[in-house]
Structure formats: structure tokens, C-alpha cells
A and B are shown apart, each in its own frame.
Chain A
């Protein structure tokens, strides 16, 4: 049934095992930014203000990983390689890893783990509140990322994980605000545009599929929905 709704493509489809073989390389790739920091640390390359450098760098890599994660589904559809879904969790967890680094630079080096000062910072500064909210939401997704959680939560798993779209918007807003003081919006505009394209593609896809879905039997429809 599913084959009928998709254009016949001559290209060989990757099977689950083939995608599995990509994973170690992807893992190494995901660690590169972190290894770069270590290398720079050895070579006096973290600038005169290493904390500031690591804060900005970890923030940027969180955003890059987030956009890559959001790019997996469009990539699967456009290349007709549904098995690529097997790398999505790893991308998501790398997003969480760099978000943790970013959070650490704030909680540890900026706030010195002083809880009252952290609470005050979240309360008084909208851009911190937005970033903190995104981090909390992202933590929920990371916690519920194992296969077992997925099975236990059933349909609710997907409902929860759609929060990734909200996180994307919050992260761009956070980035936009920190740059607002210097009217320096070049980077937020670039990253924001990629996010808009990735979310826009989903909206377009949904609109395009809706009329067709009326002709598809319920079973097939739920199958397509799961690819979300």
C-alpha cells in the first residue's frame, strides 16, 4: 500500500543494517566540535576569554545539531530513504549533549552553581528564560529517547516529541535576543531561515498530503503519520 503512494524510484533503498554502518561515522562527526575544544585547549586557542568562547561555541553547535536533527525527516522523504530515521535519535542526543555543555558554561562558570543567582537570572532576563525553557524541554525529549520509553508511551511519545518544533523556535529567539544589543542579526537570520525552511517543508507536506489522505485507508494514514 505504502509503495503505491510513493513515486517509484530506481535508487537502491538503504536497509536498516546499511544505516547502522553509518552510525559510528556519524558519532565521530558529532564529537568533532568537542574534540576541537580539547585541541584548542592544548594549543592556547580558546582566546583570551575561554569561557565566553565555549559559551558561544557550545550554543552554536547545539543549534547546528538541532537543525540537522530536524533535517532528517525531510531528507528521508526527499531521498526516499526511510531507514535514515535510525540516525535521528543520535542527532537529537548530540543536540542535547551540546546543550548540556552550553548549560554548564552558564550554571557553572557564569553562575558558580549559586541556585538563588540562577533563579534570579532566569526570572529577570527573558533571553535566559527562553534558553532555559528550551533546555528543560530538550531534557524531557532526551530522557524519553530510549526505545523502551517510546514503546511505553505509545502515541504520546510522538505528541511529546513534536515539542522539538517549539524548542527550535525558542532557540532562535534566544540567539536573536543575545544579538539584539548589537543589532548584529546576520547569524540569527541565517539559522532562523534554515529553521523556517525545515518547519515550512513540514507544513507544506501536511497540506499536500491532506487531500490524498482522504483516499487512503486509516491503516496507511497512521503509517504515514509515524514518519512525521
Chain B
């Protein structure tokens, strides 16, 4: 089938400085007036407001920076799907504080020549930290633009030397019964399992994330490390990883086990394949500067990363492999 390949950032999407400066002035004025009516949200301070989190500086990698306006730190850290802490979007921010993130090890095993358990400090030094700004598109039809800190997942996978049998990568998230009130619920099987095909995991865009907005990850966003796979729906990006297994067979992932008619293994962002209960053609950008009345945005094929990733799916029926 034909796969559209929109370029990452269309020239038309980049706003000239004079225009965005004047927009900001206008927004500030408009916000003052309309905030009183509760119609528009005053843009929050964008940067990290987390004095207790250690800085985690990275070097900007311009190859992986989208130009869209970044979602505020407040929204990124208060509107989360992390069901181990509860089903409500506000639960992770409320309960994740107790998560024990040190000491922390990640065991990388399976079809590899050199299985190994890495301590978190080793992983922090394994490759140079990069600042990347990725779009995040949730399967629930909302999206964010997030400045992550980390490096390509492939840097870690190369360390353990995958064998020829390694066809898939399975990500296992932590289960801490004492700190995670949500794991008593039967919504999903715990631990949370996600997975990628080997070529997807080795793609430079697939990122191992340690930080957000120049600081270490807050717990509710998957501390101390998670993956970010920006061309797939958010649930593919497992949080608080404790094990990475390289396997021959496609892993049985959490959402596929829970509702295979609604969530597939590939879960590539695709505006043409609707979820059974809603369309995926458009998305709501969280904290959209247009306020309440901002129209939803058109969802881009592969979340706008088609140029980089579409070739991996050449010849594949993306309707069947949703």
C-alpha cells in the first residue's frame, strides 16, 4: 500500500519570528480579558518548575527537534497515563512521589551475546545526553510536544550484541506493590509489557529517556528511565523500565492482551485507521495556545515522522497491522 511521507516540519509550519512575537503579545492581552471568562487558558510558565529534581543537561540534537510550541512542564507532569498509579490522569502526579527510583538496575537479556545488568548510573554515562523535542500522540486523541533528554535506544542495545534470533524487543516496567496503588486493579496485567520490532528499536528516533526539560524525569513521567517512540501512540513507550528482553517471538503486550480489537502491536500513529470508539484523524493539543476554542489539529501519518520511519513498513497493510 501507499505510505504517505510528509516531511518532518513543513516550511509553512515554521512561524516567522515577527509573527510569533506579535501573537504572543496579542495572546497576553487576550488572555487577560478572556481568562476572566474562563475561555482561554493563560499559557503556563513552560520550563521545569521542580527544584527537587537534579539537572540533566543535554546537547541539543537539531535533527530531532520539532518546531511546534512545547507543552508546558506543568501539563506534561500533571496529565499522565501511568495506570500503576491509578486510572485518573491526575493520579500519577499525586501518587508517584513514593516510587523508589534508587538503587535501580535494568537487566538486558534474551537473544544477546552479552546479557548484562546495568546500574542507572552506568546508563546515564553510556552515551552523550541529547536534548530532543518530540511530538507525543496519545491513542486517546490528545497530543503534546515534549523536550526529552536521553539518547538513542540503539546505543544500549548494541552493548549487549543481539544475536540473529533477536527479532523483537520487550520492555518490562517496574511493579512496586507498596508504592503503586494502581497495580491492585485488574485493568491490565502487571507488569506492564511493551514491545518493538528489532528494526524499530534500532531506529535512531527510538529514544531512551532519562530527563525532561533539562532535569531528571519526574516519577510520573517514567523515572528513572523510559522509552519514547514518537511515531507510535504513547502507550508503546514503556515507563520506569527494569528489564529489556530481546526475543524471537512478538511479545504479548499489555494493551493487546487487554483489548486486541482496540489496540494493536504496531500502534503506529495513523489518521486513517480509527479506534473503534473514536476517530484518529484529529487530535487535541494539550495546552493549545488557542485556548478552549482552538480547533483540533489534523493528525499526521506516523505522527509526522513518516520521512524517517515509513520505509520500515513498506508493503505492510497498516489497516490489518494497526
Contacts and interface: CB of A to CB of B under 8 A. Distances in A.
A binds B: yes
Interface of A: 38, 40-42, 44, 46-52, 109-110, 112, 117, 121, 124-125, 127-128, 177-178, 180-184
Contacts of A177: 277
Contact of A121 (B39, B185, B279): B279
Given A121-B279, A181-B262, A48 B87 contact: no
Given A41-B38, A44-B41, A48-B79, A125 B276 contact: yes
B277 A49 contact: no
21 contacts: A38-B38, A41-B37, A44-B41, A44-B42, A46-B38, A47-B89, A48-B74, A48-B286, A49-B89, A49-B284, A49-B286, A51-B284, A51-B292, A52-B142, A109-B292, A109-B296, A178-B277, A181-B277, A182-B259, A183-B258, A184-B87
Interface residues of B, number: 32
A48 B78 contact: yes
A41 B286 CA distance: 16
Interface in B267-322: 274, 276-279, 284, 286-287, 292, 295-296
A41 to B, nearest CB: 3
Contacts of B185: 184
B182 to A, nearest CB: 11
Contacts, number: 64
A38 B38 CA distance: 7
Main secondary structure, interface of B, reads loop
Given A41-B37, A125-B277, A183-B187, 10 more contacts: A38-B38, A41-B38, A42-B38, A44-B42, A48-B74, A121-B279, A125-B276, A181-B276, A183-B186, A183-B258
Contacts of B295: 112
B90 interface: yes
B41 A50 contact: yes
B75 interface: yes
